[in-house]
Structure 1
Amino acid sequence: MTRLQLDLQFFSGEKTEKATPQKRQESRKKGQVAKSQEVPAAFILFGSALVLYFLGGWYLERVLMFFQFIYQDVFLTTLTVQNVPELMNELFVDLAIVVAPIFVIAIVFGIGGNFVQFGFLFAPEAVLAKLERIDPISGAKRIFSLRALVELFKSIAKVVVISTAAGVILWTNKEQVMGLSHLPVRQSAAVIGQLTFELFLTVSLILVVLAIADYMYQKYEFEKQIRMSKQDLKDEFKKMEGDPLIKSKIKEKQRQMSLNRMIQDLPRADVLITNPTHFAVALEYNDAKMDAPTVIAMGMDFQALKLREKAKEYNVTIVENKPLARALYAQTDIGDPVPEELFGAVAEILAYVYRINGKMKEERRTP
């Protein structure tokens, strides 16, 4: 891609870049994830098929008991104001017992179908009321969009495929279906249950295949939707790293605070070793408390100049030693002891400083 094409993409705001982890996290907080509604539907239908397979005999008995209760206890009983509520309650309890296993499996497998797609997701922002959702213009755009046409085609294809599969199953077992009227109730119920299980299993497997294909399509659409332009990447980087102007002001404030702290500690220094103007390192040595001389202040350029000015004001001895000042600045930090390889040079300077200071004290005592 040429430089001109890159510049045109940048200024046009074309979304050509993959979404960053930060962008994906923000989309997830809004409930925007790659998901297919076909996956939980396939899971629910497959779970229902498993319920019929493992609880088929129990279902047969419960259904027969249910109809027996209706035809014997309800229709053949004289209904009164007193027994109608009791009969209705018993009827609803039996119906709830029959429906409960499939209902529970539908909830579990429905949640599982969403969990395998995007894991655990809690996004309150996704359910907040937004005015654009009731905007008729936006609604019309969604209805007549390419995505809506794809969804329509997908629904038609799903109905055709499922109807064809159901027709094939019924046609293959047409003799059993046609002979249901000649079978006892228990046998006909068993045949219907077997056909229902085959139908559920076949349709659920078809839906699984369709769900995988639909999930891949939804993931592709989602990736395309959250793409970012080069300007978006630049803005996000600026947001994460901070505005350069603000960062420079913060650093300047930090440097000023650091300089103020060093100036406060400078009167304790025994010597200020300079470069003479580029570097300045202040050393303190107390043989009762320290094993080696310690750096209590250091600076470069402007800070070095300020330390020199304050050292003169506080009567701290200033010694010019270019290689030692550079070495101390490069190898130590504030609060660090002097490295062993620099002990000799620092000891000579401290001895020189103590000798000068001693002479100055003697001269002051001499009348």
Structure 2
Amino acid sequence: MSNGGDKEGKTEEATEKKIRDAIEKGSVPFSKELSAFAALVGFVIVTSFFIVGSTIALVSSLKGFIDDPGRWPLENTADAVQLFRAINLDAAQFLLPAVIVLAIAGLASSLFQNPPQIVFDRIQPQLSRLSLSAGWRRIFGLQGWVEFLKGSFKLSALAVLAYLLARAARFDVFNSMFMAPNALPELMRTMANRLFLAVLVAIVLLVVADLVWSRFFWRRELRMTRQEIKDEQKQAEGDPIIKGRLRSLARDRARKRMIGRVPQATVVIANPTHYAIALRYVRTENRAPIVVAKGLDFIALNIRSVAEKHGIPVVEDKLLARSLYDKVEVDQVIPPEFYRAVANVILYIMSRGRPLQGIAPNR
């Protein structure tokens, strides 16, 4: 069947097991737009609260290198290493706040979408990822078109906002030619913050839509065919054929145990061919007769055959046999409404001089 047919056949929502297995394998819904949004928020925080202080500290440090170069001689390798170490330390102090804020923003966007987990299968190399056909479908498929539309929207929004902000700040840009050089960085920072804040506001709707779409597309990819659901149920509950066979074997064993108890019966009450109820009554064991075996049709004939073989009296009473079969289960004492009818059967057998197991004859 073609891939298109497979997609069309997957009309059923994924089961809880399918979703759980997908999450365990690292296949979770993820919005790239939320990550980009978090990165922009982090950048705005850095430029608004940290960039000024970090820039002043870096400029002050670099100014020392320029004003007093004799303090850093370069006569050997050790001097060069010491100079580069000092420069790298200043650069690290300048970049550290930005790195920390952006890392926190990235982690927050990931934790907001899914709980953290370690899945080694996602980082193992797979040759299937190098498939040209799969890559072609990924680029020109539904998801590829969605990514193209999102990129177009972001590019258009950025271009429009940049134009509007540049137009609104054209007088500030013109006046910057007459500003002191040390005032230009602050002007550039202010304009950049305005641009990024406007972009953040513009793409909020895109981020929300992408969050919804990523989860919808994820569940769409996890859809199953009816046959897959049936196969999963078979795996969870067992193959119905095997389960039926096991039930049949269990019934056979229970039937054999029941037939094996017929020789312990006191009397068998039967419909001529359809029903047979084997009762055991021993005064020292139970307060009333107990059903040790019962059966219908073939089993009823088997019960009668075993009873006759072991000399157990068989009394034919159609109404009583049918009623006992419907109302009393094996190993249960007969209800009080059957006491008189069963007592009459026992008295009938004893009146004919047949001894009954557990019942002393009348003297």
Structure 1-normalised TM-score? 0.71
Q: Which residue of 2 aligns with 1:263?
A: 259
Equivalent residue number for residue 37 of structure 1: 32
Q: Determine the structure 2 residue equivalent to 1:66.
A: 58
- 2:334 pairs with 1:338: yes
- The answer for unaligned runs of 5 or more in structure 2 is none
The answer to whether the 8 A contact 2:292-2:330 is kept is yes
Q: Could you tell me which of 12, 19, 31 is aligned with 2:13? A: 19
State the alpha-carbon separation in 2 of the partners of residues 331 and 124 from structure 1: 61
Q: Relative contact order, CA 8 A, sep 6+: which one is greater?
A: 1
Q: 1:225 to 1:97 in 2, by over 3 A?
A: closer
- Tell me how far apart the structure 1 counterparts of residues 123 and 217 of structure 2 sit (CA, whole Å): 22
What whole-Å deviation, never above 9, does each CA across 1:207-264 have from its counterpart, x for those lacking one?
3311333344445545554445555556556666654543432222121121123234
**Conservation of the 8 A alpha-carbon contact between 2:43 and 2:98:** no
Q: Which residue of 2 aligns with 1:161?
A: 157
Q: How many correspondences in the alignment? A: 344
Q: Deviations over 1:108-163 (max 9, x none)?
A: 32213432xxx677766555544332223333343444543442333232222133
In the alignment, which residue of structure 2 is the partner of 1:114?
A: 113
Contact 2:14 2:222 in 1 (8 A): no
Aligned-residue CA RMSD in angstroms?
4.1
Is contact 2:291–2:332 with CA below 8 Å preserved after alignment? yes
Name the CA shift for 1:323/1:201 in 2 (closer, same or farther; >3 Å): farther
Sort the Cα spacing of 1:39 and 1:359 in 2 relative to 1 into closer, same or farther, 3 A.
same
1:1-367 equivalence runs, <5 A: 14-15=8-9, 17-21=11-15, 23-25=18-20, 27-28=22-23, 30-46=25-41, 49=44, 51-52=45-46, 56-72=48-64, 76=68, 77-79=71-73, 81=78, 83-84=82-83, 86-88=85-87, 90-91=89-90, 93-95=92-94, 97-115=96-114, 127-145=123-141, 147-176=143-172, 182=179, 185=182, 192-222=188-218, 224-229=220-225, 232=228, 242-349=238-345, 359=355
Structure 1's 272 and 28: CA in aligned 2 closer, same or farther, altered over 3 A? farther
Query: How far apart are the structure 2 equivalents of 1:38 and 1:121?
Result: 21
Question: Percent of aligned positions with the same letter in both sequences?
Answer: 26
User: 1:172, CA displacement in angstroms?
Assistant: 2.8
Residue 359 of structure 1 aligns to a residue whose secondary structure is coil
CA displacement at 1:44 relative to structure 2: 4.0
Larger of the two Rg values belongs to structure: 2
Q: Secondary structure at the match of 1:246?
A: helix
- Residue deviations 1:53-106 (CA, integer Å, cap 9, x gap): 9xx445532332233223326874415626336525633551453134313422
SS of structure 2 residue aligned to 1:298: strand
> How far apart, CA to CA, are the structure 2 residues paired with 1:123 and 1:356?
83
The amino acid of 1:214's aligned partner reads D
